[in-house]
Amino acid sequence: MAAPKENASGAAKPQNAGDQASAPKAQAGPAQAAPAKQNAGPQPTQPKAQQQSAPKPQKAPAQKADPAKKGGSVIPLPVKGAPSPQKAVKFFSLAGLRPQQKRRRVLWASFLLCVLIPAILGSVYFAFIASDRYVSKAGFSVRSIDGPAMSGDFLGAITGVASQGSTTTDSYMILEYLKSREMVERLNKDMNLKEKFADDNVDFFYRIDPALPIESFVSYWDWMISASFDTSSSIINFEVEAFTPEDAQQAGELVLQYASQLVNELSDQARRDTVRFAEQEVSRAELRLRMIRKRMKEFRETENAIDPSLNVEVQIQLIARLQERLSDTRARLATLEGTIDESSPTIRQLRREEAAIEKQIAEKQSEIGGRTGAAKPRNEADGRLSPLSSLLADYEELKLESEFAQQAYVTALASLEQSRAEADRRQRYLAVFERPSYPEEAIYPRRVTNSILLFLGLLIVWAIGTLIVYSVRDHLR
């Protein structure tokens, strides 16, 4: 029994001081197990089958001594305030959490991704990246010479019907023109507007591509200009934004110049249209008068009568004198019939004179009133085929038409003069009371205000979305 103890003590004795810490466990093996069995006393006998099937004890692998541990074991101490990576990972991990904890973490994660991070990025953009935008302001009003009470719009000037609203229609037309494609094209031609907005000094959000299509450029210009119309005072105010004070003032001056040109062009066009309509009426009346005068000339040449009415008057006077002679002749006959025989030469002479006068009166009356019976040949004296009554009727008709044409021509001339005066009174002009200013300080962007509004907007959208999601989830349960 002594030999095993010596072997056990000899095996357990360390070789040097460095091996004392690890020797008791590292070098433990069958040499120590054997004395343990001997000290345990006699064991009960087992069958051979069990002895063969019993597992044999395996030797534990010897651990190599760590050179760093030769002087003693080193235990790391926790540092206060240091972040634990395991905790950060566990915050985003949903494994092993209760449903309430999962919902809470998803809610905070959505707030972080949808509100906090975008708000921080937006604030950084507004504070450090966004370019300064300068604003040039101007104001004007569309006026007419005759004042607002009697003035109509251009449509009323063209159609000749005055409409209500004075220059309101023209003002709204100017508002649309300020944001039109023609305005953008003229600005780009005169001041290279597209190059101003495509400069490298402009931030990426407001900088445009030099090859931007004109339709997109017009939409971009709609962002950079704002205009308003006050219906009570008929005043138009507009603001032009640019990235330098010089560009803002230049763009405002050009916009004001183009608006004034448009008003003048529309006024001139309305004036031309109004006067042209009156001039056309004068031309038609003059043409009609010329045609009627030509017909009267042909009538006089054909009938060889300057004025048939004068001929009728002459014939009537002649008939009246003949009737006077006839009356005298008949009076003499009546006087002589009681004193002289019917066969006397005096009575016969008076009878012949009476018959001749009656014949002349009948002929003259026939010339005035028209021929009766068969048609007669042309009168050798005057060469006329028509009686004076027919000539007089034709002449009176031509004369009446000539008077109507003359009156229409005079009325058209008066209407032309009135239209010219009315067009002059309706002439429009642009009354500018505030020229485009030179900005000394950038008004936009409003960095603090925009950052706060961005955060509040994101917060409201996130809150509404969260309420909708939770409502749908509760409804589906």
3-state SS assignment for residue 377: coil
H/E stretch holding 201: none
Return the pLDDT at 263.
Answer: 92
Q: Residue 75 corresponds to which tokens in the numbers above?
A: 């235990």
Return the pLDDT at 412.
Answer: 92
CA distance 318 to 416: 49
Q: Strands 134-144 and 428-434: what pairing?
A: antiparallel
By the 8 A CB rule, do 227 and 175 touch?
Answer: yes
Return the pLDDT at 348.
Answer: 84
Place of tokens 């008066």: 414
Q: What residue segments make up the domains of the chain, in order of their start?
A: 132-280+426-444, 287-373+382-422, 446-477
- First-to-last C-alpha distance (Å) of the chain: 79
Return the pLDDT at 95.
Answer: 61
- The number of C-alpha atoms within 13 Å of 296 and in the hemisphere containing its C-beta is 20
Is-above-0.75 flag for pTM? no
Residue 391: DSSP 8-state: H
H/E stretch holding 134: strand 134-144
3-state SS assignment for residue 164: coil
User: What does residue 284 show for φ and ψ, rounded to 5 degrees?
Assistant: -65, -40
By the 8 A CB rule, do 199 and 243 touch?
Answer: yes
By the 8 A CB rule, do 439 and 130 touch?
Answer: no
By the 8 A CB rule, do 210 and 194 touch?
Answer: yes
User: What does residue 433 show for φ and ψ, rounded to 5 degrees?
Assistant: -110, -10
CA distance 38 to 410: 155
CA distance 331 to 390: 36
CA distance 177 to 236: 12
Which candidate, 256, 223, 226, places its Cα nearest to that of 238? 226
Q: Using CA of residue 304, residue 309, residue 310, residue 311, what is the dihedral sign?
A: positive
By the 8 A CB rule, do 157 and 426 touch?
Answer: yes
Q: How many CB atoms lie within 10 A of CB 224?
A: 19
By the 8 A CB rule, do 68 and 25 touch?
Answer: no
DSSP letter for each residue of 362-373: HHHHHHHH---S
Amino acid at 287: L
Residue 88: which residues within 8 A CB-CB, separation 6 or more? Answer: none
* Cα–Cα distances in angstroms (integers) from residue 351 to residues 45, 320, 355, 358, 363, in the given order: 208, 20, 6, 11, 18
Fold of 132-280+426-444: Bacterial polysaccharide co-polymerase-like (3.30.1890)
CA distance 460 to 471: 16
Return the pLDDT at 3.
Answer: 40
Question: Tens place of pLDDT for every residue, the chain, 477 residues?
Answer: 334 343 433 434 434 434 443 333 434 443 343 333 444 444 444 444 444 444 444 444 444 444 444 444 455 555 555 555 555 445 455 566 677 777 788 889 999 999 999 999 999 999 999 999 999 999 999 988 765 444 444 444 444 443 434 578 889 999 999 999 999 999 999 999 999 999 999 999 999 999 999 999 999 999 999 999 998 888 999 999 999 999 999 999 999 999 999 999 988 888 888 888 889 999 999 999 999 989 888 888 887 777 777 777 777 888 888 888 888 888 888 888 777 777 788 888 888 888 898 888 888 777 766 544 333 434 444 444 456 667 777 888 888 898 999 999 999 999 999 988 888 887 888 999 999 999 999 999 999 999 999 999 999 999 999 999 989 988 887
